[in-house]
Amino acid sequence: MDGRTKSLVFQCPHARTRTADGRRSEKHTSLTEGEDNSPMTAELDHLIVPTRDPAESAAFYRRVLGFAHEGRAGPFEILRVGPALTLDLMRQTPHDRMHLAFRLARAEFDRVYRFLCDSGMAFGGGPFDRSRHGPGQTFGAQGMAESLYFDDPDGHNIEVRCYEA
């Protein structure tokens, strides 16, 4: 250090323990090493999706998937996906394509499929298929399901899937 800058280091008081003879011991823990060894569960609250034009993307998600537009909050256009999940669309040039997979009930899945067929949009039954044939069968968080894939205005790979027969 050259004397012009100061560095503060904060340590978690629970990160170090002492051995029986008083020496310091690093304590490495894992959230899966709890008393009952059960894994932690979590649910997504929101996803920030970079987009060249948040208003255009919001209109796309409303039109194709029926997501409710909840308005603007700071730099985000907010879309309600479900009771506990929003898409927060932010103006930013997307550098990488995202893959977003949405589980739909049978009636909503069939509605999206009809819309894709009628609209002329490119879609397919697999992640890289845009042959306008589908749905396909792909694996997801709850096993195999009918799936449709298409791109949003920024090229993000959108999947809708239905586990219901």
Residue 90 parent element (H or E):
strand 85-91
Indicate the average pLDDT of the chain. 89
Name the pLDDT band for 61 (thresholds 50, 70, 90).
very high
- Residue 1: the pLDDT is 44
Instruction: Please give the domain boundaries of the chain with CATH numbers for all domains.
Output: 44-95 (3.10.180.10), 97-165 (3.10.180.10)
Name the pLDDT band for 44 (thresholds 50, 70, 90).
very high
Instruction: With a cut of 90, say whether residue 165 has pLDDT above it.
Output: no
Name 99's Cβ contacts closer than 8 Å, sequence gap at least 6. Answer: 127, 156, 157, 158, 159
- Residue 140: the pLDDT is 98
